Amino acid sequence: MDNIETYLVMSRSGARVMKYELGVNMKDVEDLADFSYEEGNFMAPIASGSFKLDGVLVAPCSMKTLSGIANGYEDNLIIRVASIALKEKRWKLVIMPRESPLSVIHLKNLLAVAEAGAIVMPPFPQFHFNKVSGKSHTL
């Protein structure tokens, strides 16, 4: 899909976790994106509601970032862009929560972003048996 521009904003914590858990350096991920911005760069073009995007994916979404999105606390570029997606209602926002199990507070924040228009899509494997073959079976 060469006609899709990608914009990356990764938190410092996310970069540390990625390095620790996956052994992947931030530079390796930045090289996959067309544009990359630091989480504190509020002058980035994507920080404006007039910028044209098709969608925003926050993956994985920490509970701290989720809380910021749910409560409008825009202290970094990730939350700012997600907030724009919700307020402008022109961009799709997909939230992939990282934590498990979820507390009542987490669930309330997920409900808040869903009610505001976000798609909440936990990165769980889907168990739809025999979908490839087109046959449906009852277990």
First CA to last CA across the chain, in angstroms? 38
The single-letter DSSP state of residue 48 is S
To which residue do tokens 């991920």 refer? 29
The single-letter DSSP state of residue 37 is E
To which residue do tokens 């404006």 refer? 48
Element (H, E) at 57: strand 55-61
- Tell me the pLDDT of the chain (139 aa) as tens digits: 568 999 999 999 999 999 999 999 999 999 999 999 999 999 999 999 999 999 999 999 999 999 999 999 999 999 999 999 999 998 999 999 988 899 999 999 999 999 999 999 998 776 655 555 555 545 5
Q: What is the CATH superfamily name and number for domain 7-120?
A: Flavin prenyltransferase-like (3.40.50.1950)
Q: In the chain, what are the domain boundaries? A: 7-120
Give strand pairing partners of 37. Answer: 9
